[in-house]
Chains A and B, each alone.
Chain A
């Protein structure tokens, strides 16, 4: 099973700041990694798939990069609605599909 480790667990930032979230895989997932956003009381929403492709309707301030075992989600300038929990997910070697433990982006 591929384990995904996200860091930091919590990121405290102000609106307008840049957010950089990390996801590290226990073995290579090539480029088959996605990012999801989850707000309190809501279902997750797909943001990025295959490392760097934005899902439909996702603003350009969200970008993804990486390959192999190290991946990054960057939010270039935080909007108030971006404060949420973010999860990464791999699809290279499954079952099982695996998710990271999440990074909470909170308002500083």
Chain B
């Protein structure tokens, strides 16, 4: 079936360094790719999304890149801070309607 693969499952970085999380998807018709951040005891919160008509989108320290040919997209966080520590999920639509989520990346930023 359709799925979304996410790597790495855990990521530890020093404060100020960059973090990159990668996802691949299988449905070539997918055209919307959101990223969510989940903090302990909370629901996933949308932090950035990208549509297939652009290759990159940036919002302050967060950026997402999309390669439709290779069917993968990545989240980039620059100048990481301890408050960036959380679990991050990518997602992609299947059959144009429901989202399939990746397995999550636990990011730890050490001061």
Say if A and B assemble together. Answer: no
Residues in B lying within 8 Å of A, measured CB to CB: none
